[in-house]
Structure 1
């Protein structure tokens, strides 16, 4: 039986001034979609959020949705602390996920 995997992720722009929290079942595909700016009216397109700085993996979609909602409610300072805990230098993680 195939194991399902869902991801909660945080993107930022190059200057790291904007944060976006999302959820997907295919992180590499979703990152590519953000990079391609398929929807020019979307938040990530308008603010050039395509740099991955944090992600978490979940087996169950309900857990991932709940976590995404939880993080979205946080103040920016708490989101920054979460990122810094696992990625202290706020390194862009796109290449690690995409395997480039």
Structure 2
């Protein structure tokens, strides 16, 4: 079963949320519906970056690593892979 590490944003270079899940589509829907207190408070609704991992432990280490990163490193990661900060929900694998 794949595991995903992801970053959501309120707008380009706005408020960010980094998370991890095995069901990315449902997790993004939950964020967009305002079911997460933090993302609802800061209007974080756009999936702007994600990566897939085959092993739970690898995804856990990656998420924890990114959460410790400085904000400008996270912004650079998103901008490198998604320069226009588009919502990438349509790219989530089925």
Both proteins in one fold, TM over 0.5: yes
Gaps in structure 1 of 5+ consecutive residues: none
Gaps in structure 2 of 5+ consecutive residues: none
Q: 1:30 aligns with which of 14, 27, 33?
A: 27
What corresponds to 2:57 in structure 1? Answer: 62
What corresponds to 1:80 in structure 2? Answer: 75
**Cα distance in structure 2, aligned partners of 1:33 and 1:69:** 21
Matched-pair contact (CA < 8 Å) for 2:79–2:85? yes
Matched-pair contact (CA < 8 Å) for 2:48–2:85? yes
Equivalent pairs, count: 94
Normalising by structure 1, we get a TM-score of: 0.85
1:22 aligned counterpart, secondary structure? strand
Normalising by structure 2, we get a TM-score of: 0.90
**Cα distance in structure 2, aligned partners of 1:23 and 1:86:** 18
1:45-85 deviations in whole A, cap 9, x for unaligned? Answer: 10111101000100011100100000000111100111111
Bigger-Rg structure (1/2): 1
**4+ runs of 1 displaced by more than 4 Å?**
none
